[in-house]
Structure 1
Amino acid sequence: MNGFIRVIGGKWRGRKLPVLDNEGLRPTTDRVKETLFNWLMPVIHDANCLDCFAGSGSLGFEALSRGAKHATLLEKNRTAAQQLNKNKQLLQIQNGHILQTDTINWLASSADQKFDVVFVDPPFHHGLASKTIQRLETYDWLSNGAYIYVETEQNGLLSRDVPLNWTLHREKTTGQVHSYLFIRENA
């Protein structure tokens, strides 16, 4: 164990969860997380959530703490996925599902469920945000009115990467991180 994330709101507020120090793993800071969940406050309760690059689980666990109905956390790294499962057990989560899988491949099939809130916070400098966005829309993973949070490096997301039926609701730059919150309308 090399560090901790902190749940900042909801039923597990203040709980610290151990995280591994893996290359490319950068848990969302408390400041960014606070802003994001203020933006999501009207829609997070009873939402079906997808955390596409779960890493430390910071966003998925925060959503569950704040009343999300269910969260699916996807993580490619086996060791990180194992730690997510340990933290799931620690919090005694019944309404969360952790899959050790490649997000891009997992999203490349017709959706068997729809998500109301999606977190897209991939490792930087690999073009994964735009690929994920395309798959979410192409394979119909999103409910109408879904909120999609995307976190990228500066200039990591171009307007051509965003589907025409997604409206930019909020955005913020903190240091080298650019955060976007989109709302999807029916195509």
Structure 2
Amino acid sequence: MKDNTFKIIAGNLKGRKFNFPDAEGLRPTLGKTRETLFNWLQFDIADKTIIEPYAGSGALSLEAISRGAKKVCLIEKNRKVFKNLELNFKLLSNSQYQLNNTDSVIFLDKQNIKPFDLVFLDPPFNQNLIPMTLELLSQKNYLHYESQIYIESEFEITPILLENHLEYDCKIRKQKKSGNVHYCLISLVAI
């Protein structure tokens, strides 16, 4: 039987289990990968604001809140998956999160007022969403010069891809592969 749960690794929600529904393209970030990511971010998570355009299970945002992030903004267009996010986030204070049931591209195409410190970018694979999403994030004021972007993808993220789709200088700080999933952490660099 399939186990549609994930467990929070550390912080004030440590050990708590959350559910997620069966949905096409939904693959929560594995615990080992989440642990690696949050080791990379260990001093860069407290009091930060985060946007997760393709929220899915919400595992990354829940882990971030557990570890002291100030606020997360999640976007999920699948209604069933969104309803599950509402259930999972109910135990948190409303001031810690914002849930949006809409298409990420439509949401990100609106000019943003206050940039985010961190982006969790883990779109469905094989839909070529990363280039367009990076362009919208940088063109519509979702980033600032100290923002970081975490990307999970079916291909290796290269400096050329970033240069072609981000309006910021940036560098790939960390990069790994687990099975067929590539993941990396990018820092924007002030010129």
Interval containing the TM-score (normalised by the shorter chain): over 0.9
Runs of 4+ in 1 over 4 A off after TM superposition: none
- Contact 1:2–1:19 (Cα < 8 Å) also in 2: no
CA distance in 2, matches of 1:99, 1:178: 27
CA deviations 1:73-112 (Å, max 9, x no partner) are 11010110110011111x2333111101111111112112
User: Aligned letter for 2:180?
Assistant: Q
Structure 1, unmatched stretches of 5+, are none
CA deviations 1:113-148 (Å, max 9, x no partner) are 210011000000001111111111111211221110
- Aligned pair count reads 185
Task: Please name the residue that 1:5 is paired with.
Answer: 6
- Contact 1:149–1:180 (Cα < 8 Å) also in 2: yes
CA distance in 2, matches of 1:105, 1:34: 31
Task: Please name the residue that 1:22 is paired with.
Answer: 23
Give the strand-richer structure, 1 or 2: 1
- Contact 1:8–1:62 (Cα < 8 Å) also in 2: yes
Superposed counterparts of 1:35-50, under 5 Å:
35-50=36-51
CA distance in 1, matches of 2:139, 2:160: 15
SS at structure 1 position matched to 2:176? strand
Task: Please name the residue that 1:105 is paired with.
Answer: 106
**Aligned-residue CA RMSD (Å):** 1.5
CA distance in 1, matches of 2:183, 2:11: 22
Q: Percent identity?
A: 35
SS at structure 1 position matched to 2:63? helix
Structure 2, unmatched stretches of 5+, are none
1:63–1:88 distance in 2 versus 1, CA, 3 Å? same
CA distance in 2, matches of 1:92, 1:23: 27
Task: Please name the residue that 1:122 is paired with.
Answer: 123
- TM-score for the superposition, normalised by structure 1: 0.94
Superposed counterparts of 1:158-169, under 5 Å:
158-162=158-162, 163=166, 165-169=169-173
- Contact 2:159–2:172 (Cα < 8 Å) also in 1: no
Tell me how far 1:62 sits from its aligned partner: 0.7
Q: Which of residues 173, 176, 182 is equivalent to 1:178?
A: 182
User: Aligned letter for 2:161?
Assistant: D
SS at structure 1 position matched to 2:29? coil
